[in-house]
Amino acid sequence: MSLGYAEKLSYIEDVGSVGMAEFFDPSSVLQEKIEQLAKMIQESKHLVVFTGAGISTSCGIPDFRGPKGIWTLQREGKALPEASLPFHRAMPSITHMALVELEKAGILKFVISQNVDGLHLRSGIPREKLSELHGDSFMESCPSCGIEYLRDFEVETIGLKETSRRCSDLKCGAKLKDTVLDWEDALPDKEMLPAEKHCRMADVVLCLGTSLQITPACNLPLKCLRGGGKIVIVNLQKTPKDKKACLVIHGLVDKVITGVVESLRMRIPPFVRMDEFQIIMTQSSSADKKFVNWTMRVASVHGVKAQLPFIQSIEVSFSDSQKYKAAVLDQQPFNLKRRTLTGESFEILLKINLSDGCGCLSTEINIPFGLNKGSTDCLDLEKDAIIQSMKEKAIQNSSCGQTAVVERRSMSEPTAEVTVYGIVTNIKAFNSESLSNGDVKTVREFATNAIGAVTKPRSSNSRKRKSRVQ
List active site positions.
Answer: 134
In 189-336, alpha helices (H) = 189-201, 253-263
Q: Are strands 47-51 and 108-113 parallel, antiparallel or unpaired?
A: parallel
CB 260, CB 32: distance < 8 Å: no
Sheet of 362-369, strand order:
327-329, 311-318, 346-354, 362-369
CB 2, CB 214: distance < 8 Å: no
The residues with which 128 forms a beta bridge, in sequence order, are none
Q: Are strands 362-369 and 346-354 parallel, antiparallel or unpaired?
A: antiparallel
Q: How far apart are CA 278 and CA 125, in angstroms?
A: 26
199 known ligand binder:
no
The residues with which 234 forms a beta bridge, in sequence order, are 208, 249
CB 84, CB 449: distance < 8 Å: no
224 known ligand binder:
no
Compute the residue count for the chain: 470
Query: For residue 346, with 0-12 CB atoms within 10 Å meaning exposed, 13-18 middle and 19 or more buried, which class applies?
Result: middle
Q: How far apart are CA 322 and CA 328, in angstroms?
A: 17
172 known ligand binder:
yes
142 known ligand binder:
yes
Q: How far apart are CA 270 and CA 94, in angstroms?
A: 9
Q: How far apart are CA 437 and CA 262, in angstroms?
A: 10
> Binding site for Zn(2+): what residues are annotated?
142, 145, 167, 172
> Binding site: what residues are annotated?
142, 145, 167, 172
